[in-house]
């Protein structure tokens, strides 16, 4: 028999690849008695660089799973195709004049060859290519359905425009203010665009997320991207005018704290109120500056707020009829909500910053609420409650950086000076009086108020009542150490201590005291916590918690007709047109008489015409606009002269439905046959990179929902379960990139070690989902493993294996099966390695057991297993076999090693029969010599964990 090395060198793997292709062993049959599984890879963009090692990671994972499922008796659909529209081929065309079709075909050929050389069990009869007119006929058809449902519309809006790609981009394609493709800073540009109304599906896209078996990170990414928020729209009348400003807010509870309003610079109303604005020149100048700021500048400057007040007009706060100023500022976005806000500086950080900068008043309407949680201090329902105005006094030493604190030893409180405000006193009076009474000091250098009002509810043991204390805090700096008469100092419950500034944080143990201390140290900010607060200064909302206040305020607003409940999303409609050549033409014509008219379905596909120059015009027109004979057409409705839409679709169009086409790829009369769709859908397992979280995966869900609503797709959600494979990094631990020179080409690895080794290595590296570095030398480990199995044929005997080996075999079958089901391939491989090591040790394995081993290894290393299988004399493929059953009795050991822990430390190990009773185990442990050394007298406790360990407490 030839060596494994010879097998590889003589093209043994290719031999089997050809055999599988020729016998169509991987073909999925539509309709079958077997249960179906649809397992799917994200199809690649066939780039000129060819496959990199990241691609096969996911493909191998899915391939192993597919082969396993077939062995388990499933009818498996496992297809591959090409997401082939896109910029690289087009940019190459611009540079060289080569038609993108030619480049694309060449790249697809390379990709197909490389993918086939890895021995993946794809059903190649179902291959799809998004650039094939037979395919994009149906992409266009779906677009027409969207158009007819009113989900595709034309609009001239400011969109993200990439000056390098010279095309508009969807929001999802902008990362960090840069073009996702080329990294160029995007600009805002007003362009006529085709938009898809994905926002109409925002709620369903959001709700659906929860039902999906997807990684939580992707689910949260989608949720955050959709960004639903609930709140209210509120109308603010402009004083002395019929005009009003409508704002969106999630915090209607804070309306009494709204001290100004802000409009986005682009807000229409600014122009409409032009005549009333006294400083309109200044306002216009600001608008112009804001407009010229790029997105980058806007975000870079986001720390420093700018704005201009609209002088001469005021808005009326509908809850109290107070007139408040109106500003414009670019911190308010024109595209979110109503493009205008009510500003509540006390409870919004941005408004706080703005108000501080421009000296706008701040009104606190929520008091932070502190509930004491310790047993003694908690409010007692049987005691009466006293509400009291209280002061907290932070007293600073006259020369040290120390603070005067009270130690209430009996109650375990450590606080600043505290006390109630007496009748006829104001807060500051009370603070000074309490300072004198409790500390004895009397000469003040400076006093000021700190922070706002806070509430504290607790049981006051020393007074035997529940207290609801409304706190205000004063900071006093002493002038000197002179004191009042000793006997007048209140020392009944506490004594005073000077605490160094650095130690105050750990000394004070009352939360609200600490709250003020932190404000003293770090300065005041907006209070934005919605869960721990009580409404104040808010008339009918006073004493409510914010959540209740929100509800009550919305009811009030609706009753008065000045506002209503409202929902907002961050999700924007999908900018769907591209001013480029290499994409699906949008099948619409513009007719002077009939407006925008869709092509007849029978006239699809509308194919891409030949052009002389692929260069985008950069003026918002695609290269298609330059071909008069293509542009000029007749209106399908009236037959009159009309012009074709010259924009093309984005790359995401073709990938938004491709999994449907695999089901029926050659159908000329529908995108897929309904019965076949019902049979195969949904996709049971989908694997791909996380970078598509808010691109492909969102668009695909959207299109699928639309098709579901049209009744042409049976499920609302396309992908039941999703797994993300982790990125494979270069050997240096950095992202693989040409410029770093750390890219690994699979072809080189295949030449050296073969496809089976390559597949095994990528699966053995670590968990599929993890990011992990490539290491060429580590490949040897799995290569040796395969080599050992090849050489193992010499140990194969007729008859039966050693009993111990049998147990290992059954355990391995169980473990590998379970691990494949959860894609724990690294541990499945290590289990098989353990088995191989065992066989090598005993040097004999029965033919029957060796064949079982080949079957469970076959999904991982299909070529070698198929070869050995055939060498063992089988005429049929190993993949026609059944996954072996394991014997449940043989996966349990008859004897187990049990560690004995004494006070948590392992002190001895006992070998005991697996079925020993707890009593027997205890007895064995206590009579063990090692154990005896540690025990004198009766142990306090003995814990026996069946089959695991014995824990003795002494």
Partner RNA sequence: GCCCGGAUGGUGAAAUUGGUAGACACGAAGGACUUAAAAUCCUUUGGACUAAUACUCCGUGCCGGUUCGACUCCGGCUCCGGGCACCA
Sites for RNA among residues 350-389 (CB under 7 A): 350
Rounded to a whole number of angstroms, the minimum distance from the CB of residue 526 to RNA is: 11
Cβ 298 to RNA shortest distance, Å: 5
Closest separation in Å from C-beta 209 to RNA = 13
- Residue span binding RNA (CB under 7 A) among the ranges 297-305, 392-400, 440-448, 540-548: 297-305
Contact call for residue 428 and RNA (CB under 7 A): no
Among 341, 588, 591, 854, binds RNA (CB under 7 A): 341
Q: Does 333 bind RNA (CB under 7 A)?
A: yes
Is residue 841 a contact point for RNA (CB under 7 A)? yes
List binders of RNA among 224-243 (CB under 7 A). Answer: 224-225, 227, 229, 231
- Taking the least distance from each CB to RNA, the nearer of 300 and 920 is 300
Cross-strand bridge partners of residue 611: none
Which residues inside 682-721 make contact with RNA, applying CB under 7 A? 690-691, 694
CA distance 69 to 61: 12
For tokens 């400076």, what's the residue?
Answer: 446
Please, what is the minimum distance in Å from the beta carbon of residue 241 to RNA? Answer: 22
Given the complex with RNA, which of 143 and 702 has the nearer CB atom? 702
Q: Is 176 in the site for RNA (CB under 7 A)?
A: yes
One residue of 58, 339, 598, 939 binding RNA per CB under 7 A = 339
Q: Phi-psi bin for 447: left (phi > 0), alpha (psi -120 to 50), beta? A: beta
Of residues 611-650, those binding RNA (CB under 7 A)? none
- The one among 99, 251, 696, 863 contacting RNA by CB under 7 A: 251
Least Cβ distance, residue 244 to RNA (angstroms): 16
Q: Is 904 in the site for RNA (CB under 7 A)?
A: yes
Q: Which of 336, 398, 708, 795 binds RNA (CB under 7 A)?
A: 336
Helices (H), 710-802: 746-753, 755-764, 779-791
Query: Smallest distance from the beta carbon of 47 to RNA, in angstroms?
Result: 19
**Tokens at 177, concatenated:** 């203010």
Tokens describing residue 311: 């002088």
Q: CA 641, CA 644: separation in Å to the nearest integer?
A: 10
347-352 — which CB contacts under 8 Å span 24+ positions? 347/251, 347/254, 347/257, 347/526, 347/527, 347/528, 348/251, 348/254, 348/526, 348/528, 349/525, 349/526, 349/528, 350/305, 351/526, 352/525, 352/526
Chain centroid offset of residue 316 CA: 41
Nearest to 277 by CA among 237, 311, 233: 311
Q: Which is nearer to RNA, 147 or 161 (CB)?
A: 161
Nearer to RNA, 525 or 633 (CB): 525
Examine residue 829 and tell whether it contacts RNA (CB under 7 A). Answer: yes
Q: Which of 764, 790, 850, 869 binds RNA (CB under 7 A)?
A: 764
Q: Which of residues 769-798 bind RNA (CB under 7 A)?
A: 770-773, 775, 777-778, 780-782, 784-785, 787-788
21 vs 914, beta carbon nearer RNA: 914
Q: Both ends of the chain: CA-CA distance in Å?
A: 64
Report if residue 844 touches RNA, rule: CB under 7 A: no
Among 199, 490, 767, 795, binds RNA (CB under 7 A): 767
Q: Does 509 bind RNA (CB under 7 A)?
A: no
CA distance linking residue 846 with residue 890, whole number of Å:
16
One symbol per residue from 188 to 217: x for binding RNA (CB under 7 A), - otherwise; what is it? ----------------------------xx
Partners of 366 in the β-ladder: 535
Shortest distance (Å) from residue 830 CB to RNA: 4
Helices (H), 822-846: 825-842
**249 in contact with RNA (CB under 7 A):** yes
Minimum CB distance to RNA, residue 251 (Å): 5
Number of Cβ within 10 Å of residue 371's Cβ equals 13
How many residues touch RNA (CB under 7 A)? 81
37 vs 772, beta carbon nearer RNA: 772
Tell whether residue 744 is a contact of RNA (CB under 7 A).
no
- The encoded tokens of residue 553 equal 């305020």
Residue 945 near RNA by CB under 7 A:
yes
CA-to-CA distance for 946 and 924, rounded, in angstroms? 14
Q: Hey, is 368 helix, strand or coil? A: strand
* Residue 807 touches RNA, criterion: CB under 7 A: no
Binding letters toward RNA, positions 561-590, x by CB under 7 A: -------x-x--------------------
Long-range CB pairs of 786-790 (<8 Å, 24+ gap) are: 786/4, 786/756, 786/757, 786/760, 786/861, 786/864, 787/4, 788/836, 788/840, 789/836, 789/853, 789/857, 789/864, 789/868, 790/3, 790/4, 790/7, 790/864, 790/868
Q: Among all chains, which residue has been given the structure tokens 């004895």? A: 440
Check whether the bond before 860 is cis (ω within 30° of 0).
no
Q: In angstroms, what is the minimal distance from the CB of 569 to RNA?
A: 8
Residues between 874 and 903 that touch RNA (CB under 7 A): 896-897, 899, 901, 903
């Amino acid at each position: 028999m030839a060596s494994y090395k010879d097998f590889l060198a003589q093209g043994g793997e290719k031999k089997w690849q050809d055999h599988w292709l020729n016998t169509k062993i991987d073909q999925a049959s539509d309709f079958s008695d077997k249960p179906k599984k649809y397992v799917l890879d994200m199809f690649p963009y066939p780039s000129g660089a060819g496959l990199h090692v990241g691609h096969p990671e996911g493909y191998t994972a899915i391939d192993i799973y597919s082969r396993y499922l077939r062995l388990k008796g499933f009818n498996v659909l496992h297809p591959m195709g090409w997401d082939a529209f896109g910029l690289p081929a087009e940019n190459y065309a611009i540079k060289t004049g080569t038609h993108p079709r030619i480049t694309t075909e060449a790249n697809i050929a390379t990709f197909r060859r490389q993918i086939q050389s890895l021995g993946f069990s794809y059903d190649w009869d179902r291959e799809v290519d998004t650039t094939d007119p037979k395919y994009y006929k149906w992409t266009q058809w779906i677009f027409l359905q969207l158009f007819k449902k009113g989900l595709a519309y034309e609009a001239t809006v400011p969109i993200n425009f990439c000056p390098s790609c010279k095309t508009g981009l969807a929001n999802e394609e902008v990362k960090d203010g840069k073009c996702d493709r080329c990294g160029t800073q995007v600009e805002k540009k007003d362009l006529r665009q085709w938009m898809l109304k994905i926002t109409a599906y925002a709620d369903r896209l959001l709700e659906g997320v929860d039902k999906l078996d997807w990684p939580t990170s992707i689910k949260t990414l989608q949720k955050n991207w959709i960004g639903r928020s609930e709140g209210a729209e509120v109308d603010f009348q402009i004083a002395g005018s019929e005009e009003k400003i409508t704002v969106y807010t999630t915090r209607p509870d804070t309306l009494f704290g709204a001290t100004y309003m802000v409009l986005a610079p682009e807000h229409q109303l600014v122009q409409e109120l032009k005549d009333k604005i006294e400083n309109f020149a200044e306002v216009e100048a600001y608008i112009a500056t804001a407009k010229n700021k790029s997105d980058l500048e806007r975000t870079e400057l986001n720390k420093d707020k700018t704005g201009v007040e609209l002088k001469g007009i005021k808005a009326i706060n509908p809850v109290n009829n107070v007139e408040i100023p109106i500003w414009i500022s670019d911190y308010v976005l024109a595209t979110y909500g109503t493009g205008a806000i009510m500003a509540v500086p006390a409870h919004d950080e941005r408004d706080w910053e703005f108000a501080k900068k421009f000296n706008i008043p701040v009104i606190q309407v929520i008091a932070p609420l502190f509930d004491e949680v310790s047993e003694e201090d908690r409010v007692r329902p049987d005691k009466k409650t006293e509400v009291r105005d209280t002061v907290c006094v932070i007293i600073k030493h006259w020369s040290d950086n120390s603070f005067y604190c009270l130690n209430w030893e009996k109650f375990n409180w450590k606080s600043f000076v505290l006390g109630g405000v007496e009748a006829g006193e104001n807060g500051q009076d009370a603070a000074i009086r309490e300072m004198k009474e409790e500390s004895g000091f009397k000469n003040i250098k400076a006093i000021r108020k700190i922070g706002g009002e806070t509430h504290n509810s607790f049981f006051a043991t020393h007074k035997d009542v529940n207290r609801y204390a409304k706190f205000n805090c004063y900071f006093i700096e002493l002038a000197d150490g002179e004191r009042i008469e000793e006997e007048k100092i209140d020392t009944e419950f506490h004594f005073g201590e000077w605490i160094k500034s650095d130690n105050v944080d750990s000394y004070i143990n009352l939360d609200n005291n600490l709250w003020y201390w932190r404000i003293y140290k770090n300065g005041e900010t907006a209070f934005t916590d919605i869960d721990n607060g009580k409404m104040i200064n808010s008339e009918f909302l006073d004493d409510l918690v914010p959540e209740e206040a929100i509800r009550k305020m919305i009811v009030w607003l609706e009753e008065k007709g000045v506002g209503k409940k409202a929902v907002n999303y961050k999700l924007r409609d999908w900018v769907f047109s591209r001013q480029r050549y290499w994409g699906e033409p949008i099948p619409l014509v513009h007719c002077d008489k009939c407006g925008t008219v869709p092509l007849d379905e029978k006239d699809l596909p509308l194919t891409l015409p030949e052009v002389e120059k692929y260069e985008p015009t950069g003026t918002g027109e695609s290269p298609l606009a330059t071909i008069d004979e293509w542009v000029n057409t007749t209106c399908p409705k009236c037959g009159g002269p009309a012009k074709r839409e010259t924009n093309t679709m984005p790359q995401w169009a073709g990938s938004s439905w491709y999994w449907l086409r695999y089901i029926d790829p050659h159908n000329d009369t529908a995108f897929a046959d309904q019965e076949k769709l019902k049979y195969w859908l949904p996709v049971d397992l989908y694997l791909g990179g996380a970078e598509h979280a808010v691109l492909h995966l969102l668009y695909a869900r959207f299109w699928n929902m639309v098709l579901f609503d049209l009744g042409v797709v049976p499920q609302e959600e396309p992908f039941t379960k999703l797994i993300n494979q982790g990125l494979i990094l270069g050997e240096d631990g950095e992202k693989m990139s040409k410029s770093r020179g750390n890219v690994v080409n699979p072809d080189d690895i295949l030449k050296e070690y073969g496809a089976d080794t390559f597949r095994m290595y990528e699966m053995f590296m670590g968990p599929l989902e993890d990011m992990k570095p490539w290491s060429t030398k580590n490949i040897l480990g799995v290569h040796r493993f395969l080599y050992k199995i090849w050489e193992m044929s010499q140990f194969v005997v007729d008859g039966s294996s050693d009993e111990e080996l049998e147990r290992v075999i059954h355990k391995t079958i169980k473990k590998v099966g379970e691990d494949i089901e959860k894609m724990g391939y690294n541990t499945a491989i290590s289990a098989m390695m353990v088995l191989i090591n065992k066989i090598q040790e005993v040097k004999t394995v029965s033919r029957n057991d060796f064949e079982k081993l080949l079957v469970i290894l076959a999904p991982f290393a299909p070529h070698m297993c198929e070869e050995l299988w055939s060498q063992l004399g089988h005429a049929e493929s190993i993949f026609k076999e059944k996954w072996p059953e394991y014997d449940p009795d043989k996966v349990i050991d008859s004897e187990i090693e049990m560690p004995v822990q004494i006070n948590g430390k392992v002190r001895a190990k006992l070998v005991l029969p697996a079925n020993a009773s707890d009593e027997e185990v205890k007895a064995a442990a206590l009579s063990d010599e090692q154990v005896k050394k540690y025990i004198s007298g009766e142990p306090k406790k003995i814990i026996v964990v069946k089959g695991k360990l014995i824990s003795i407490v002494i």
